Amino acid sequence: MARLTRRIVLASLPGFGLAAGCSTVAPSPLSRREEEISPAGLDWAHLKWRRGVENQRIADNGDGTFLNPILSGDHPDPTILKDGDRWLMTFSSFESYPGLVIWESRDLVNWTPLVAALKTNIGSVWAPELTKHGGRYFLFIPARFPDKRSIYVIHADKPEGLWSEPIDLNLPRHIDPGHAVGEDGSRWLFLSGGDRIRLSEDGLSTVGQVEHVYDPWRYPHEWVVEGFAPEGPKILRRGEWFYLITAVGGTAGPPTGHMVIVARSRSIHGPWEHDPENPIVRTWSSREKWWSRGHATLFEGPGGGWWMVYHGYENGFWTLGRQCLLDPVEWTKDGWFRPTGGDL
């Protein structure tokens, strides 16, 4: 059976380009240059982790601090949900079945597996979306067989299950769904390439056609990336603003390729205003600890603090895959948010 790779599928999707300079680029607002290391950018060489019984690294330092990764090994495309006093998270599970293991934590650092939500083989699973609406839990799941591509949904009354059988939403040309609820209560899936489609009230079918609603911020032509590839849209509403977080630059290319960009709007229908400090997360040099950082979700953590989770490759340990990283966030007076973890 032919194996689908993310690169092959991205090249076939609307709005994706695999050439770094495929379009007109706005001037960059950034002063930081390629291969420029931040003052703390090489401190990682001296980090010491606590060790477990099998000599594995432990993220929790035992003193109220932590070291990344919070989940080692291949845990890409994290999607996280605050559920009361706990947090639930899952990742791309690809060809592994049962798939979409949901992890649970009370502190964002120590995680335990809760349940494998997906039992039926629908293909290689990428970049799901875990959300809760109207008291019900949903997983929106892009999946690929060589001859069948779509986005599916499963649902449950509680995250421990039982989870439903997959329902095909008949979206063969998109990946990376991000669930959103508009100011009028309407439900939407934002999709790769700056597109979206409306959901039915119960979230189990689509309404109307896919529409293009967002043109992501473009990085300077000279930046070293894999391709434009806007993916992983995540929507958060806070106060009067909707925040749209997107990954661009390609997830498996050069260390400096993947990055996190942000836009905001007072309406789920736009228009979208680009963050003047885009990209808010990027690997600037191959000497940094974490490469290809991107595919972020913003959420509220314990005590009302704010955080992002995203993935990255570890310098010198590419074969471990995209590991899960936790980055603290602060809000600015003008209503943007800024990660404060530096180069992690």
**8 Å CB contact between 262 and 316:** no
How many other C-beta atoms can be found within 10 angstroms of the C-beta atom of residue 342? 12
3-state DSSP assignment of residue 282: strand
Q: What is the pLDDT of residue 42?
A: 62
- Nearest CA to 152 out of 181, 117, 186 is that of 117
**8 Å CB contact between 260 and 294:** yes
How many other C-beta atoms can be found within 10 angstroms of the C-beta atom of residue 184? 8
Q: In the structure encoding, which two tokens stand for residue 20, read together?
A: 């770094």
Polymer length in residues for the chain: 344
- Nearest CA to 255 out of 208, 277, 288 is that of 288
**8 Å CB contact between 78 and 309:** yes
What is 132-173 written as a DSSP string? Answer: EETTEEEEEEEEEETTEEEEEEEEESSTTSPPPPPEE---TT
Q: In the structure encoding, which two tokens stand for residue 91, read together?
A: 């990742």
Q: What is the pLDDT of residue 15?
A: 44
Q: What is the pLDDT of residue 110?
A: 98
Tens digit of pLDDT per residue, the chain (344 long)? 334 344 433 344 444 443 333 322 333 445 556 666 655 556 677 788 999 999 999 999 999 999 999 999 999 999 999 999 999 999 999 999 999 999 999 999 999 999 999 999 999 999 999 999 999 999 999 999 999 999 999 999 999 999 999 999 999 999 999 999 999 999 999 999 999 999 999 999 999 999 999 999 999 999 999 999 999 999 999 999 999 999 999 998 999 999 999 999 999 999 999 999 999 999 999 999 999 999 999 999 999 999 999 999 999 999 999 999 999 999 999 999 999 998 77
Q: What is the pLDDT of residue 35?
A: 64
The domains located in the chain, with CATH, are: 6-20+67-339 (2.115.10.20)
Q: What is the pLDDT of residue 116?
A: 99
CB-based contacts of 142-148 (< 8 A; 24+ apart in sequence): 142/174, 142/175, 142/176, 142/177, 144/4, 144/9, 145/4, 146/1, 146/2, 146/4, 148/123, 148/172
- Nearest CA to 214 out of 185, 183, 192 is that of 192
In sequence order, what are the residues at sequence separation of 6 or more whose Cβ sits closer than 8 angstroms to the Cβ of residue 135? Answer: 157
How many other C-beta atoms can be found within 10 angstroms of the C-beta atom of residue 3? 8
Query: How far is residue 263's CA from residue 303's CA, in Å, rounded to a whole number?
Result: 26
One-letter identity of residue 46: H
- Nearest CA to 76 out of 57, 89, 60 is that of 89
- Nearest CA to 264 out of 139, 180, 138 is that of 180
3-state DSSP assignment of residue 184: coil
Query: How far is residue 305's CA from residue 319's CA, in Å, rounded to a whole number?
Result: 33
